[in-house]
Amino acid sequence: MTVLSVKTGADSDILKIGLSDGSLFFIRLSYLPAAFASKVASWMSLPAIFPIEISEEEYQELESSAECLRAERKALQLIGRAEQSCQGLTLKLEQRGHSEPVVRRVLGRLTELDLINDRRFAEAWIHTQLGVSSTKSNMQLISGLVKRGLDVRTASSVVNELYPASREAAAIPRYIKKKRIDLGSMDRFEIMQTLKKAGFSQQSIRQYLEKDIYK
């Protein structure tokens, strides 16, 4: 296999490479192994040396880099619509046919560029959830983030920061009203157990009860 042409555009890291079999690759140099990337970059300064013979391994590296660029562009489209979690974006790209090694390389680059940030995703998701519903419990939010691919530590940290016990306690009366819970038929212990099962933290339950008639 031989390379017949190499062209670049506004982004010097992206090249258009034409091959003797008629194929045309759009690649990002950053996705090539360092040694091969340096070799390919050098072709730009030597326009008179084409055609250039490449090995089967190098051809496969060009194919892989081209797939990475396609996956990256799809990832950027998704990120442009809304914040994405690392795991969530991984699943979306794999569902679109991109291989696991390619997705891993792309997400590694986007994470380094801070285009993917799980903590930032968590903050955006929590703000959205609290805007939709004012009856959420601490555990509901944490569980929601974990289901979306965040580790428990990060999820708990962000929820506790953005949704302190005082704010969660204020949601308890609205939750009780929404669920039509009859407090008059319950003692203090039963109320605590009911709210605990709903996912409210002990601290928020205690704050709620201290302001309520059950003291």
Mean pLDDT of 88-112: 96
Q: Please give the torsion angle defined by the CA atoms of residues 124, 125, 128 and 132, in that order, rounded to the nearest 10 degrees.
A: -170
pLDDT in tens, 162-193: 999 999 999 999 999 999 999 889 999 999 99
pLDDT tens digit sequence for 7-30: 888 898 999 999 999 999 999 999
Residues of the chain with CATH 1.10.10.10: 2-112
The class of domain 2-112 in CATH terms is mainly alpha
The structure tokens listed for 133 are 């519903």
Please choose, from the candidates 122, 126, 143, 144, the residue with its C-alpha nearest in 3D space to the C-alpha of residue 134: 126
DSSP 150: -
What letters, b where the CB count within 10 A reaches 16 and e where it falls short, cover 23-37? eebebbbbbbeeebb
